[in-house]
Amino acid sequence: MTATVQDELRSIPEAAELEVGVTPGPRPGTVQVVVSGEIDFDNAMFLRRALLAALVSHRATLLVDLERVTFCDCAGLNALLAARHAARQAGRSLHITVAGLRVERLLNLTDTRSLLAGTPAPESR
């Protein structure tokens, strides 16, 4: 089963640069969330809603792929941290499995990489 938030977001101009795809994860008890585009103040709430919906509907660990994210500001980081908090409250977890250089830089600058890491941060890219 594949779900996407893109159709819901098309009607909202601010969210036009954001795509979120949700598919079953590679292991039982996981769900893969692939995010593409720009995450900023105008559309971060849609990312948060998509992550929370995936958490609730799949009742699984969220594996978040941010490799195709070209921009992420503090509002995007807040959405990720809020979803992580919700996952922990539900007895599950959220892990960023891969991220592009810009997202990695944001995570490292804010010292939040370890909170969202599925694996240790890469040495260099």
Contact 47, 56 (CB under 8 A): no
Least confident of 9-13, 48-52, 66-70: 9-13
pLDDT digits (tens, 9 = 90+) for 13-41: 445 589 999 999 999 999 999 999 999 99
Full-model pTM: 0.81
Three-state SS for the chain is: CCEECHHHHCCCHHHCCEEEEEEECCCCCEEEEEEEEEECCCCHHHHHHHHHHHHHHHCCEEEEEEEEEEEECHHHHHHHHHHHHHHHHCCCCEEEEEECHHHHHHHHHCCCHHHHECCCCCCCC
* Per-residue pLDDT tens digits for 71-100: 999 999 999 999 999 999 999 999 999 999
